[in-house]
Each structure stands twice: as C-alpha cells, then as structure tokens.
Chains A and B, each alone.
Chain A
Amino acid sequence: MSNVLEVKNIEKYYGNKSNLTKAIDGISFNVGEGEFVGIMGASGSGKTTLLNCISTIDRVTAGKIIINNQDITKLKGNKLNKFRREELGFIFQDFNLLDTLTAYENIALALTIQKVNSHEIDKKVKEIAQKLEISEILNKYPYQISGGQKQRVASARAIITNPKMVLADEPTGALDSKSARQLLETFEHLNQKLGATILMVTHDAFTASYAERIIFIKDGKIFNELVKGEDTRKQFFEKIIEVQTLLGGDLNDVI
C-alpha cells in the first residue's frame, strides 16, 4: 500500500522570540491509500493547525508534507491553488455551501472551476448524488435542507473531483446525533466502496470510532496511536475513551 500522505517531522510556531507558541512540535505520520484516519485531540492541541498545514491553507515552519509524492511545502501561489483544487477535497464543520447556489450547483462548482466539460459535469453530479442519496434535494437551496443533507452535499462536492485525499474538519460538529451517524456511514461508504482516502479531525470519540486508525495529539505532539484492526466499533470506541482518559483531557487540567 503506497502512502498518499507523508508528514515528516513538521513544526509550526506562532508568535515571536519572546513569546513563542509551538502549535505543532515535531509530528510525523503516514496515511496510506484508501485509509480512513482520524486525528483526535482536545481544543488547543494543534489538530486544526495540523489540518490547515496539510490542506495547504497554512504553512509549516519546518519539516515536509508529501502528498502523492509531491512536497507541498515547496509549492507556491497558483500552483498551490491548483494542487488544492485537484488533489484535495474538503469537508468543513459549517458545511461552507454557497447559499445562493442549489445543491446541484454547489457540487458542480468544484468541477467547473477545474474547467471540466459541461456534459461530464452533469453526469458526474447525478452519479455522485445517487451514491450519497441526495438526488431528491439536488434542486434545493442550502436553507431548504437539513444539516445532515448539507453535509452530504458538501461531501459530494469534496469527492466529485476524485481527490487523492479528503480532509474533514469536525464534520459532525454542527450535526445532531442522528445526522452525524448518517454522515459517518456515508464516510464509511466513501472509504470502503469508493476507495476514498479520508483524514478526519475531530474531538468527538463517537465520530472518531468510525475511522480505522486514530492519531492522538496533545500539545503539538503525537501522544498515541490506535488501530481498529479486528475490533468492533464498540470495542474501538471504548479504547478511544480509555486513551482520552489517559490523555488527561480537560478533567486533569481542572484539578
């Protein structure tokens, strides 16, 4: 199994010499093709910074990030945009759907900005909509559909371009538990049936339990790693809770 993502000893500092914050302090890990990896950590642990660096929105202070054999820390300007557009798909906590566009148009937009032929766009959008069971709501506007549906539209937009990797930032953060479960099942479907590589950042143990492997981060460093392996999700979930307790989480800090 080849690696889609290789993170090599990256560091990210904020501030100046007198007041330095190490948001990421020497993190290294790999994500293989077709993997579903979760990144967990409390707020302030550096997980969002990590995701931002991987998604090329932010730049690392030191280290390398290699996606699909390309060192993205060396890319600049329009090449970076092109890379982001063609190799990555994004799913955000607050959906980031354009409210003026219908679901169909939101999904199609990811393709139109890649200058894909219009006939192909129509076909692809309908295809993906069927797979994610959102065919009925394609002509509706974001304000007309539920949060879960919005996130599924966002997921469709993220994977319609066949990205090397889908980056999801707290995808269930704004959803109720039922919608969250549905969405995660969608993710599983994307991962297992469509072979999408997913890197998901979350602080929620239940959400994380859908991943195959979880990397725990604390204070900018990798704290632990859990692999689901042959476990059921329930067992995996319990293990996650254990690690979270070990992590100390918020309770220890309170004491």
Chain B
Amino acid sequence: MLFKLSFRNMKKSFKDYAIYFLTLVLGVAIFYMFNSIDSQQAMIEVSQSTREMIQLLIQMLGMVSVFIAIVLGFLIVYANNFLINRRKREFGIYMSLGMGRRQISGIILLETILIGILSLAVGLFIGIFASQFMSILVAKLFEADMSEFTFVFSKDACIKTCIYFAVMYIAVIIFNTLTISRYKLINLLTAVKKNEKVKLKNPIISILIFIASSVLLGYAYYLVTGGVYELKTGEQLLKPILMGVIGTVGVFWSLSGFILRLIQTRKSVYLKGTNMFVLRQLNNKINTNIVSMTVICLMLFMTISALSSSLSIQSALDSQLEKFTPVDVNLYKTAYLPESYVSSYSGKTIYNTEEQIEDSKHPVSYTLETNGYDMNNLKDIVEIPIYAIPEWTLKYSLGNYYEKAKSQFSMLTYDTPESVIKISDYNKIAKLYGEEEYSLNDDEYIVLCDFEQMIDLRNEALKQNSNIEINGKTYHAKYKECKDGFVLMSTSNMNAGIILVPDSFEIKEENTEQYFLAANYNAETEEEKIELNNVLAGEVDSELFDNLSEKEINLEGMTKISLTEASKGLSTIIIFIAIYLGIVFLIASSAILALKQLTESSDNKQRYTILRKIGCDEKMINQALFRQIFIFFMMPLTLAIVHSIFGIKFILSMLAALASPDELLPSIIVTAVIIGAIYGLYFLATYFGSKNIIKEEE
C-alpha cells in the first residue's frame, strides 16, 4: 500500500522531481566518470613516466572526490528539502486521514530509495558511456595513442559511486525523518496559504551594512592582490577568505534593501509598469535566501577561478615548453665532492668513495666516456662549469635589501651561495639555446633570472645597491635589473638567479659546484631520438647506467622528451581537477537556483494570478517574470565575477612561474562560454518552467 502510494506520488509529481532527478543523475555520472580514469589507461599506450603521472592524477582525483561528494551531498539534501516542503499539504492530508508520522516517514523513505536506485542506475549508465569519451580526452591531453578501442568498465569506480551515493541518500533519509517529526498538522494543512511575513529591514542599517560589507570585501581583495606578499602561510589565507564570506553574506543581506530604497526615491522609475512588483518580489526573495545566495555566489566564484586559471596555466605551459627546452638533453653532476658529509636526512656521516671523488673532478663528458657511452650519439655538445663562491650568497647579493626581503619571503634560504658562470661559458650555452649573448667589462657582473617573484626581489636589490665586493675587488652590476636567461632546461621559467662574471674573475678550481653539459641527440627521426632518450633518461637498461650505479656516481639530467611528458602530465592533472570541480560547482549552483526559482514560482503563482486579475496582460506578466528570474540569476553571478577578478589575480601571483596574464584572455573566453552555456541553459529552463507554473489553468 505504502509502496503504491510512493510510486504514484513520484509519477504524479514527476515535474517537481525532474530537476532533483536530473541533478542526481548528473552527479552520479560525473562522479563515476572522473573516478574511472584508472581503467581508461587500459586502452592507451603511454610511457612509464606518463603512467606515473596518471597514477598521480587518479590519486588526486580520489581526494577531490571526497570533497565533491560532500558538495553533492549538501546539494541533494537541499533539493530534497524543497520537494518535501512543496508537499506539506499532501502530508497534512495523510495525517488528517489518520496516518502516523512513522508511516509518512515510511512513504518518504520508500520514495527516496526508489528515486535513489533509479538515479543511480541511470547515472551509472550515462557515466559508463560518457567515460568512453573520457578515454579520448585522456589520450589527447597526454598526447598518447589510442591503441584500440575497448569498452571499459571500472568496477572500482562503480562500487565507489554506489557507496558514496548510498551515504548521501542515508543523509537525506535522516534529514527527512527529522523534518517530518517536527511538523504540526495545522501548519501542514495551511502551509500553502501561509503568507511569508515580509521582513523589512531598516534602510539605514541596510545602507550601513552594505558599506561595511563593501569595505570588508575591498580589504579582502587587497589582501590577496596588493598585499599578497604578506601572505606566507595557509592560516593567513584564512583571513581574506573569511572576510570574503562575511562580506558576501553582508552584501546579499543588504543589497536588495539598499537598491529598493534607492529606486523608491526615484518615483518615475519605481511607479512604472510592474517595476514595483518585480523589485518587491526580488527584495522578498533575496531576503529569505541570503545563505543560499552566498553559497551559490561562492561556488560560481570557485568555478570561474578554477576554470579560467587552469586553462590559462595549461596554455602557458604549452607555449613556455618550447622556449625552455631548446636542446634535447642537459646533464649535470656535482663537482669536487668532499671526502665526507653529513646527510641531511639521517644525520649520519657519509663517506664518498675515491672513485666518486675522482670522477667529480672531471666534466660530464669524462663520466660518459669512461663508463662506456658512445659520444657519437650526441652532437652540438657544450660543456661548462658552474661555480659557487662560499661568501657570495643570496644574502650577500641582496646587500642592504636583505632585511626587507627576509620579512617578505621568510621561506627563502638566503645562505646558499649563488650560481656563478663565466661570461664566455654562458655565451656558448646561449648560442646553442638561441638566447641573447652578453659581454662584460672586468669590473661588471650580470644577474640572470626569469622566475617572476625573484626578479622583483633582485631588481629591488640591484636598484638600491648593486656593488659587490669579492676577492678585494668591487664589481658593479652592468644592468640595474635582471636579464632573461637560463642554463638548466625546465618546464617553465624556474631560474631563480645566475650571476655572470667576467672571464678575468678569479675562481679556484675547487669552487666548481657543477659540471654541466647541453647537447642534441645525433638522430634524424623521432623514433631514434626516443631510443637515445630512453638510455639517458634511465628508462632502459644500458651499459652506462650499469656502470654508474655500480660506482655510485650520480649523473642527473633533464631531457626535452621527459620534460614534455611531465609538463603535459602536470597541466592535465590541473585541467582534470579544475574541470571536475568546476562542473560540479556549476551544476550545484545552477540546480539550487533553478530549484529555488521553480518552487517559488509555484508559491508566486497566486501573486501572478492577482496581477492578471487586475488587468496585466500576458506580455507584462512574462516580462515581469523574466526580469525577476534574470536578476535573481545575475546577482550571485555578478558578485562571483567580481570575486573572480581578484581570485584569478591571486592564483596568477601564486603560480607566477606557470601562468602569464597574456594567456588569460582566451581561457576567460572559454570559461565564459562554458558558464554561459550551462548557467544560461538552467536559466532558460527555469524561466520556461516558471512560466508554465504561473500559467493560468483553463
């Protein structure tokens, strides 16, 4: 009997359930898709390092999924709550017919289980099919080949999805039971008629709160942009976040009242058409929805920031990669090893072997040749020593500026000696890399740096005092700013500082810190290059590496191919997580807005009927409804966009090395398109749905 009733209810109120159901299905599908990536790699051929990247991606997605589950859980409880509220009257009738609370809870329990199972089934079905396309995306982003198309099904992801959503449904059931147990029959039966008391706020307080919130937001914006260097720990970041949240609540609390008062003073606008009605509707609605408006606004903010900055990081990574990997391989090793040193991990004293010490006195090519590597595999070889002078530390470079730098960037190690390269050595590298070559007088030096925050720091120091005393001689900077350049290849601008000194600069041989080698592979085709790369990257067994590991000689390196893979991996991880979070937040906020608007439209039906009765034609009514929904949708979006402007700036300054503002515009456009499409679709669906609800039944 109860089952029949639940089933009929669902069929009857299918329209109401539609958005709830849709959101559940989408949630399940996306959850499955992003958790099934482990099985996607079955069909693509990837290298070992890419495989590691994918493992990392899966781990990260797993962690993010917990957070996503919490968001979806809240969304589902919330959407469900609206449905229950809409059916108060129905429950009231059941109760007046003698049904107990327990039985009503039973009905809802059955309904929740029914819709849960149904949505899980449909969602998984969609998810499994959609995840086939994910494979293509994974393959494309990792630039891997699709070996063959196999229909993949991830049992783990499926079980995980079922468990997570089962927990969410249980939360819904508990919540519903609590809600029902608090109902009183009289309230249930009169629920529809009950007019909301119009909460009117004191206009002066509204204005004061609005100003206070704006100031609070402004200060939070300042903290994450202008004052970003003051932020050193995660805890300090809590302050602007908290201020942002409070400011947002404050804005929504006061904004509608503030605007209402403002327009009320302009009678020609206020007393025109249905303006008065629309404004009052909005005022009433926003006043009763402060919390949800805030949540929606913050979610949209995260979506916008995540999508646009991740896309910009990706495009920045791609375009930078070319610049920062000019040759096929870099090899380097530590020079002049000491006889013993204290390990920073274990604290034990470790002795270097004689073989190690002997090897470290020679350049990289010596190591390669003596260990059986065929030097004909390489061409365009350039070898240079990189020096470190104990007294020329970063602290020494900064001079007077040190104290201030220390207070801004406490995490930097200032006592490490600077990397020093002789000008003629650097020019050999620069020539090979196609970078600018420099010249120096005997009393000059140049600072090379391309790591954005270090540039700022060093430029300040260079402007204040650029004279360095070393070996009893004074050197001054040829340029009062850092010059662009690097020696070691990387995925992006990571050079925190290299000092170029004239060839006449006196350095002891023992002050050589590293021997460095840059070269291209002596190969024509891509396949040959990969083969050569596998040897130097240590991905296959080779005579060279057997010998090196036997002698415990550390030869480190960067190859263009592995850097490319790592870069792709990094950007892919960022993109995946951002898309995952972004889409879920977008769905969540759109669904909440849509649900709010739809349920309120049915409450508003009476109001629109009155409008119709006093002579408004359909055009006026539709216009009023459109404006109302439009403003209702735009309010959180507008504030979210303002938040995002500063949020993105903050992210960019945090990831200064990875993203540059130039690449921002295209990604902002892409983000706008994505948000416009999903949000706009929800908006239109809501408008037409509401229009349908308020339409007169004939």
Q: B-contacting residues of A (Cβ < 8 Å)?
A: 57, 77-78, 81-82, 84-86, 88, 90, 92, 96-101, 105, 108-115, 118-119, 121-122, 141-143, 157
Contacts and interface: CB of A to CB of B under 8 A. Distances in A.
Given A112-B273, A112-B275, A113-B274, A100 B284 contact: yes
A100 B198 contact: yes
Contacts of A77: 617
B192 to A, nearest CB: 13
A118 B198 contact: no
B268 interface: yes
A105 B439 CA distance: 81
B261 to A, nearest CB: 13
25 contacts: A57-B613, A78-B617, A78-B618, A78-B619, A81-B617, A82-B615, A82-B617, A90-B614, A98-B607, A99-B198, A100-B281, A105-B276, A108-B271, A112-B271, A112-B272, A112-B275, A113-B274, A113-B616, A118-B271, A118-B272, A119-B267, A122-B267, A141-B198, A143-B197, A143-B198
Given A112-B272, A113-B620, A99 B615 contact: no
Nearest to A101: B280
A98 B616 contact: no
A142 to B, nearest CB: 8
Given A82-B617, A84-B615, A99 B276 contact: no
A76 to B, nearest CB: 12
9 residue pairs, one from A and one from B, having the closest CB atoms: A85-B615, A81-B617, A118-B271, A100-B280, A118-B267, A99-B195, A96-B610, A84-B615, A118-B268
A113 B614 contact: yes
A121 B617 CA distance: 20
A90 B609 CA distance: 13
Nearest to A157: B614
Interface string B257-268: 000000000011
Given A96-B610, A100-B198, A115 B273 contact: yes
A118 B616 contact: no
Contacts of A121: 267, 271
A166 B497 CA distance: 87
A56 B267 CA distance: 32
Nearest to A99: B195
Contact of A122 (B198, B271, B281): B271
Contacts of B613: 57, 90, 92, 96
Given A100-B283, A109-B274, 18 more contacts: A81-B618, A82-B615, A85-B616, A86-B615, A90-B613, A96-B610, A96-B613, A98-B277, A98-B607, A98-B610, A100-B277, A101-B280, A109-B614, A112-B274, A112-B276, A113-B273, A113-B274, A141-B198
Nearest to A89: B614
Contacts of A105: 276, 280
Interface string B265-301: 0011011111111001101100000000000000000
Interface residues of B, number: 31
Contacts of B607: 98-100
Residues of A contacting B: mostly: helix
A122 B276 CA distance: 14
B196 interface: yes
Contacts of A122: 267, 271
B559 to A, nearest CB: 69
Given A98-B610, A118-B267, A81 B276 contact: no
Interface string B185-218: 0000000000111101000000000000000000
Contacts of B272: 112, 115, 118
B195 A143 contact: yes
Nearest to B614: A110
A23 B534 CA distance: 93
Contacts of A82: 615, 617
Contacts of A86: 615
B35 to A, nearest CB: 46
Contacts of A108: 271, 276
A56 to B, nearest CB: 10
Contacts of B284: 100
Interface string B599-628: 000000001011101111111100000000
Contacts of A84: 615
A223 B362 CA distance: 123
Nearest to B195: A99
Contacts of B615: 81-82, 84-86, 88, 110, 113-114
Which of B195, B270, B613, B615 has the most CB atoms of chain A within a 10 A radius of its CB?
B615
A97 B275 CA distance: 17
Contacts of A109: 274, 276-277, 614
A108 B196 CA distance: 22
Contacts of A99: 195-196, 198, 607
A9 B501 CA distance: 111
Nearest to A120: B271
Contacts of A157: 614
Interface string B117-143: 000000000000000000000000000
Which of A78, A109, A119, A141 has the most CB atoms of chain B within a 10 A radius of its CB?
A109
Nearest to A92: B613
